[in-house]
Amino acid sequence: MAASRLNMRNTTLCYIEQDGAYLMLHRVKKENDLNHDKWVGIGGKFEEGESPEDCLLRETREETGLTLDAWRYCGIVTFVSDEWGTEYMHLFHSDRFHGALREDCEEGTLEWLPRTELRKKELWTGDFIFLDLMERQEPFFSLKLCYRGDTLTFAALNGKPM
């Protein structure tokens, strides 16, 4: 049992919005990146002693150069994968921030994508589910997404299969 806990990780993901577009990260720079070639929001892994909000603010500053002034904690997404273990992702949305956007990010390429264009990009299948929940401003939710390789095999919202 102790070994399986080592494979569980906590992360944050934030969709930063401005003028109907999300600041997205096209993950194209890191080797052995489980998100390689995918478009994702801004975030990353917790460091020792961090709360979800601490991680959110640190990762946003590191990846984008921006400082969030306010945010909404949307829910927790549990990813279960046969290849990369279990991840608890704390999902956030923000449209209030300040600072200058970094021109270079070591994780990938930053780009403002209109919400309508995002649906045409390469995302994980389950990302469309939590994006819809976030955009509808559903109350705080728990979403479980199970993958076999890149294939979504199961989804449950607040403990109920979808």
pLDDT by residue (tens digit) across 49-58? 999 999 999 9
Domain that holds residue 147: 2-161
CA distance linking residue 33 with residue 148, whole number of Å: 17
CA angle 113, 105, 87 (to 5 degrees): 80
What DSSP letter does each residue of 65-91 carry, written as one string? S-EEEEEEEEEEEEEEETTTEEEEEEE
SS3 content of the chain, % helix, strand, coil (to 5): 20, 45, 35
Helix (H) or strand (E) holding 117: helix 115-118
Backbone angles phi, psi at 84, to 5 degrees: -125, 20
What digits encode the pLDDT tens for the residues 124-143? 899 999 999 999 999 999 99
Look up the CATH number of the domain holding residue 70: 3.90.79.10
53 within 8 A of 82, measured Cβ to Cβ: no
What digits encode the pLDDT tens for the residues 55-104? 999 999 999 999 999 999 999 999 999 988 899 999 999 999 999 998 87
Q: Structural domain tally of the chain?
A: 1
